[in-house]
């Protein structure tokens, strides 16, 4: 099978979103550049890690690199629109990498498809030394620092919009009927917010 590499260097939109109800949501990362639309499937924890690491890179740049404009963090992203249709997954993300390109002054994010190669699964760093034709499908996205800040904010909103938390014990409520709160001493009481 031929390896596919999607490289979007001037994306118009880079967002994460979900399909489904809380508790059974499917997470997607979607990139649009002109008429090209690429959608990959991710796990919730991957979205959280992407946001955390990208935020660290941006904060480090703001604090230590004078010739790079880095906007401050934002709580609410400008783009809260749904994912673009059609949502056709190119692959499921396995390994991810992120870096700042000093020459272009942009954040580069690479995502590789889940691989059934046992060596690559045990050591994802092998992707760096693997011949391109032997590597799994990949998505490479190059973002400005402003796009990256907006992307981080959207990641946080999407991750936080899942299941609600109990106001008494702070555990996630896994059922629509509520949960047996340990602070209620064994009695199910209605949760009213």
Q: Are residues 64 and 111 in the same domain?
A: yes
Q: For the chain, what percent of residues have pLDDT higher than 90?
A: 62
Same-domain check for residues 97 and 171: no
Supply the DSSP string of 96-158, one letter for each residue: EEEEEETTTTEEEEEEEE----HHHHH-GGGGGTS-GGGSPPEEEEEE-HHHHHHHHHHHHHH
81 and 45 together in one domain? yes
Tell whether the model's pLDDT for residue 103 goes beyond 60. yes
Residues 171 and 149 in one domain: no
Residues 185 and 109 in one domain: no
Q: How many domains does the chain have?
A: 2
Segment 25-42 mean pLDDT: 96
Please give the residue range of the domain that contains residue 69: 5-161
Overall average pLDDT of the 166-183 stretch = 71
Both 139 and 187 in a single domain? no
Across residues 80-84, what is the average pLDDT?
95
Domain shared by 96 and 21, yes or no: yes
Q: Work out the average pLDDT over 85-98.
A: 93
Are 37 and 84 in contact by the 8 Å Cβ rule? The answer is: yes
Residues 151 and 181 in one domain: no
């Amino acid at each position: 099978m031929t390896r596919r590499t999607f490289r979007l260097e001037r994306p118009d939109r880079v967002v994460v979103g979900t399909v489904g109800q809380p508790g059974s949501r499917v997470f997607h990362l979607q990139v649009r550049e002109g008429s090209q639309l690429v959608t990959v499937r991710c796990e919730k924890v991957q979205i959280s890690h992407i946001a955390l690491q990208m935020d660290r890179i941006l904060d480090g740049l703001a604090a230590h690199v004078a010739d790079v404009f880095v906007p401050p963090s934002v709580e609410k992203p400008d783009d809260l629109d749904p994912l673009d249709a059609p949502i056709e997954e190119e692959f499921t993300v396995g390994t991810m990498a992120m870096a700042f390109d000093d020459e272009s002054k942009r954040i580069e994010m690479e995502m590789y498809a889940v691989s059934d190669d046992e060596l690559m699964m045990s050591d994802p760093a092998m992707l760096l030394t693997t011949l391109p034709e032997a590597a799994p499908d990949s998505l490479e996205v190059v973002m400005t620092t402003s796009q990256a800040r907006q992307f981080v904010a959207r990641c946080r909103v999407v991750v936080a919009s899942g299941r609600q938390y109990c106001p008494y014990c702070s555990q996630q409520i896994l059922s629509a009927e509520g949960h047996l709160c340990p602070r209620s001493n064994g009695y199910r009481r209605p949760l009213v917010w």
